[in-house]
Amino acid sequence: MKRVVVCCYGTRPEFIKMAPVVLELNKRKTVTPVLICSGQHEELLSGLDKIFDLTVQINLNVRKKIGSTTNLSLLTEGVHAGFAEVLGRIKPDAVLVQGDAASTFLAALAAFHQHIPIFYMEAGLRTHDLDQPFPEEAYRQMTTRISKILFAPTKINKHNLTNEGIASNRIYVVGNSIVDSVDYIKSQFRKIGIKKLRRQYYPWLPNDSKEKLIVVTIHRRENQGVVLDGILRALIKIRRDNPSNLFVFSVHPNPEVRLSVYDKLKNVSGFTLINPPLYQKFLVLLSCAQAVITDSGGLQEEAPSFEIPTIVVRKKTERVEGVRSGWSILAGVSEPGIIRAFNSLNKWRKPKGGNPYGDGKASMRIAKMIYEKI
């Protein structure tokens, strides 16, 4: 008899990290994975299912019900109700969740209320500050408490969990499946040729090797408003002092972020503002870059696979492995701190040891463990 594992997600990073696990589960004849999307980030999820040749069986379409509001209470109500209804109807043997988004915690909570075992990917990342990042740090901690099995990407993450009283026999160090996904897509790039893809996707990028490409993304709630304004001023000053650098800013669709970025940077020389590209297109952009400036967690994990450094514009990061190994520089959010971090790139040297977040085999380990435990 086949056992059903419902795989819940709502954001682009969740799908990207869950997809290789679903592909591995599909290889097991006695397991049926069912992909359920909350529908909270539809515009950022476009085309992802085609990259991995996966079918999303159910979409809760929460945005069609609550609109574009950023009100977390309304989002919470809609996403939780949607997952609860579907889980009650399907009655799966287990639920798989990933990361720190609202969809992660709310799918887990819906499963918990129905006594469905929860398998939690990317467990144990911590800043130990509920405001950094907000509300994701809280979602991580609450999901941890109600999960049956926790897949920690690194030993540091496992240490965080055991310090919180989680039994060691519930924790498995497996690596982060983002490395698996990036390796999978890079193998497709090699078949086509990265230069050809660059010309196809970004014909406007200069070919002058003296001009350095810096990829920028900013989107977190704690970095909006006056904080974002300060970050943008720092970027303008950096460009003024480094005229050979081209900054390509992938602008998040959040209305507050978008308005601020376009207001401050639209007519500034050296900045190109783009809508978030499809994921494979974004990875092509990364492959052409010399550095990344971001508050994204996923980018901190992806950049080492392209052997480029990341300036993290946050006060704290739950991904300390990159900072400790030298792949990331934690800059804070002040103008002097960001400028100082950027200037330190002049002395940056590629760390040894490859990507500190995984070896490209996390999805195999996770799928194997799910198969054995349900």
Note the pLDDT of residue 71. 87
Number of compact structural domains in the chain: 2
Same domain flag for 169 and 222:
no
Read off the pLDDT of residues 8-26 as tens digits, 9 standing for 90 and up.
Answer: 999 989 999 999 999 999 9
Same domain flag for 60 and 37:
yes
User: Is 72 within the bounds of a domain?
Assistant: yes
Query: Of 270, 269, 247, 273, nearest to 260 (Cα)?
Result: 273
Same domain flag for 117 and 213:
no
Note the pLDDT of residue 45. 66
pLDDT above 90: residue 370: yes
Please list the active-site residues. 100, 122, 136, 219, 221, 252
DSSP for 22-76, written as a single string? HHHHHT-TTEEEEEEE--TTHHHHTTHHHHTT----EE--HHHHHTT---HHHHH
What is the arithmetic mean of pLDDT over 221-231?
96
Q: 44 pLDDT band (50/70/90 cuts)?
A: low
- The DSSP element (H or E) to which 4 belongs, if any, is strand 3-9
Say which CATH number the domain at 85 has.
Answer: 3.40.50.2000
| Rounded CA separation 220/13 (Å) | 14
- Residue bearing tokens 């800013």: 249
Same domain flag for 70 and 194:
no
Domain hosting residue 45, numbered range: 3-176+359-373
Residues 6+ apart with CB under 8 A from 220: 133, 134, 295, 314
Read off the pLDDT of residues 52-107 as tens digits, 9 standing for 90 and up.
Answer: 999 899 999 888 788 777 788 998 999 999 999 999 999 999 999 999 999 999 99
Note the pLDDT of residue 320. 97
Note the pLDDT of residue 208. 65
Note the pLDDT of residue 49. 79
| Rounded CA separation 297/259 (Å) | 23
Same domain flag for 188 and 290:
yes
- Residue bearing tokens 């997952």: 83
